[in-house]
Amino acid sequence: MDRRNVYQSFSSNVIPGFMVNVSCMTYNQAPYITETMNGFCIQQTSFPFVCTIMDDCSTDEEQEVIKLYLKENFDLEIGFNLLN
């Protein structure tokens, strides 16, 4: 499956209660991912939205940065693929 098909499958999913799904595909962006997540969180909308971060098996500790950010700011479960 190429990236276009992956994106279409994610963006076409209907998530109950949310009007918009913001998808962020990333690889080896550890120095920048916190700023990106902050940008998602400061959005002010009149409708509910969800953000999906898809890390492509980064090798630069990006997954640890994401885990820490989510642990410090949200009460939720997360998961990562171990293989690409």
CA distances from 5 to 8, 22, 69, 80 (A): 5, 16, 29, 20
Is 50 exceeded by the pLDDT of residue 65? Answer: yes
3-state helix, strand, coil in the chain (%, to 5): 40, 15, 45
End-to-end CA distance of the chain: 12
Is 60 exceeded by the pLDDT of residue 14? Answer: no
Is 90 exceeded by the pLDDT of residue 33? Answer: yes
Tell me what pLDDT residue 83 has: 74
* Residue 29 pLDDT level (bands cut at 50, 70, 90): very high
Tell me what pLDDT residue 50 has: 87
Q: What percent of the chain stands above pLDDT 70?
A: 81
pTM for the predicted model, two decimal places: 0.72
